[in-house]
Chains A and B, each alone.
Chain A
Amino acid sequence: MADAEKTIEIEVLRYRPEQDREPVVQTYQVPFTDDTSVLQGLQYIKDYLDGTVSFRWSCRMAICGSCGMMIDGKPKLSCKTFLREYYPGKLRVEALSHFPIERDLVVGIEDFIGKLESIKPYIIPKQSRTLEQGEYLQTPAQRDQYEQYSSCINCLLCYAACPQYGLNPKFTGPGVLALLHRYNADSRDQGWEARQDVANADDGVWGCMLVGYCSEVCPKGVDPAHAINQNKVNSTLDYFGMLKFLLPKGAAK
């Protein structure tokens, strides 16, 4: 903390539903050091400059998924992005794209939550086991098939990166489809049949045009574009009644 404090200009896209007809930009001068995150910059604004600025945050260490926002037009976690990257220029923060703005940097996420519920985001065993039968066994290779997709923190950056979701809000979207694959690909789960209605729908995997930006912005390396597009193959096999060739193979016995 020996380095001298500098000051940077942060533009915040404000929207106060009780007084604004549309969002307006408000500018703040924020002191920062090399280790000040954008989130800390916003917290400084709220504590010392303007207590009415609203934004979501919790863990400050890129695991809760609350503080996603557009930073200079790119979806990022504000706790994982540092003010020094934008100095000596300024930066602009805005609510996540493609979601309705509730207030300032806070977006409405009911749509996402509803979609998340629709894919049954939990393991649905093929055959339930009794206590006497013991635990479900899984090899490291079987775990590798879903582990990366299980890293999703529901931060919604991928939705803000997906123009298909912006253009057609009915599209199930990258994050939820990646989680759909996370459970389908788990050898303990019954797989495709449990969630085929969501996957096969026009607004399921086929709503994806493989722009690929979701995988670029994901802070957890989930790669939603990969999860979705392998399931286009599965959906096609399903259409032709060839479910036995489904990928990845190998449900637990």
Chain B
Amino acid sequence: MSARKPYVRSMDGWWRKNPYFTRYMVREASAVFLAVYAVILLIGVFRLSQGAAAYGAWLAALTNPLAIVFHGIALLAVAYHAYTWWKVMPKTMPMLHVGGRRIPEIALSAVGWAATLAASLVVYMLVRGVS
């Protein structure tokens, strides 16, 4: 008879045991804010299709302090999500070589971060220019 009695440890609370895992969970959770924001924006488009009065009511609802607080948090969450998204993106790409040397992951991430910043600036300036 085997004297083996392997002990399997519990996974309870695994993501609190290592800061790396906690950051991973924050990264994943930040997508929820992005999704909720997208739904709010889609509702705005839908209200716009119903006419000026409906769109005006949607805009008015957004001036609620709760809505403003949510958008502040969502902005931070989405910024973090964009940062982490580009940080892990190079892991999904094949090895790229230029002139016999491998392009480092940080260079690929940096292109993504720069593109995100540029796109955000363009959108911001468009919105400011219109209103």
Q: How far is the CA of A57 from the CA of B81 in the complex (A)?
A: 41
Q: How many residues of A contact B (CB 8 A)?
A: 35
Contact across chains for B20 and A210 when beta carbons are under 8 A apart: no
Q: Encode A208-241 as 1/0 by CB contact (under 8 A) with B.
A: 0111110110000001011001101100000000
Contact across chains for A213 and B14 when beta carbons are under 8 A apart: no
Q: How far is the CA of A97 from the CA of B93 in the complex (A)?
A: 29
Greatest chain B CB density within 10 A among A74, A212, A216, A233 is at A212
Greatest chain A CB density within 10 A among B14, B18, B97 is at B18
Residues of B within 8 A of A74 (CB): 18
Contact across chains for A229 and B91 when beta carbons are under 8 A apart: yes
User: Is B52's beta carbon under 8 Å from chain A?
Assistant: no
Residues of B within 8 A of A232 (CB): 92
A251 to chain B, nearest CB (A): 15
From B4, B91, B102, give the contact of A102 (CB < 8 A): B4
Contact across chains for B11 and A163 when beta carbons are under 8 A apart: yes
Contact across chains for A230 and B93 when beta carbons are under 8 A apart: yes
Q: How far is the CA of A22 from the CA of B6 in the complex (A)?
A: 10
User: Is B80's beta carbon under 8 Å from chain A?
Assistant: no
User: Is B15's beta carbon under 8 Å from chain A?
Assistant: yes
Greatest chain B CB density within 10 A among A22, A74, A141, A226 is at A226
Contact across chains for A248 and B92 when beta carbons are under 8 A apart: no
From A23, A213, A223, A226, give the contact of B20 (CB < 8 A): A213
Contact across chains for A226 and B91 when beta carbons are under 8 A apart: yes
**If the complex has contacts A141-B97, A163-B21, A211-B24, are A230 and B92 also in contact, measured as CB distance less than 8 A?**
yes
Q: How many residues of B contact A (CB 8 A)?
A: 26
Residues of A within 8 A of B15 (CB): 163
A74 to chain B, nearest CB (A): 7
User: Is B129's beta carbon under 8 Å from chain A?
Assistant: no
Q: How far is the CA of A18 from the CA of B4 in the complex (A)?
A: 8
Residues of A within 8 A of B90 (CB): 226
Residues of B within 8 A of A144 (CB): 95, 97, 102
Contact across chains for A100 and B92 when beta carbons are under 8 A apart: no
**If the complex has contacts A145-B95, A230-B92, are A213 and B18 also in contact, measured as CB distance less than 8 A?**
yes
User: Is A31's beta carbon under 8 Å from chain B?
Assistant: no
**If the complex has contacts A213-B21, A225-B91, are A18 and B3 also in contact, measured as CB distance less than 8 A?**
yes
User: Is B35's beta carbon under 8 Å from chain A?
Assistant: no
User: Is B128's beta carbon under 8 Å from chain A?
Assistant: no
From B6, B11, B28, give the contact of A166 (CB < 8 A): B11
Residues of B within 8 A of A145 (CB): 95
B113 to chain A, nearest CB (A): 17
User: Is A88's beta carbon under 8 Å from chain B?
Assistant: no
Residues of B within 8 A of A248 (CB): 94-95
17 A-B contacts (beta carbon < 8 Å): A23-B7, A73-B18, A74-B18, A101-B6, A141-B97, A163-B15, A163-B24, A166-B11, A209-B28, A213-B21, A215-B91, A229-B91, A230-B91, A230-B92, A230-B94, A233-B94, A248-B95
Which 7 pairs from chain A and chain B are nearest by CB?
A100-B6, A17-B5, A247-B94, A229-B92, A101-B7, A229-B91, A226-B91
Residues of A within 8 A of B (CB): 15, 17-18, 22-23, 73-74, 97-98, 100-102, 108, 141, 144-145, 163, 166-167, 209-213, 215-216, 223, 225-226, 229-230, 232-233, 247-248
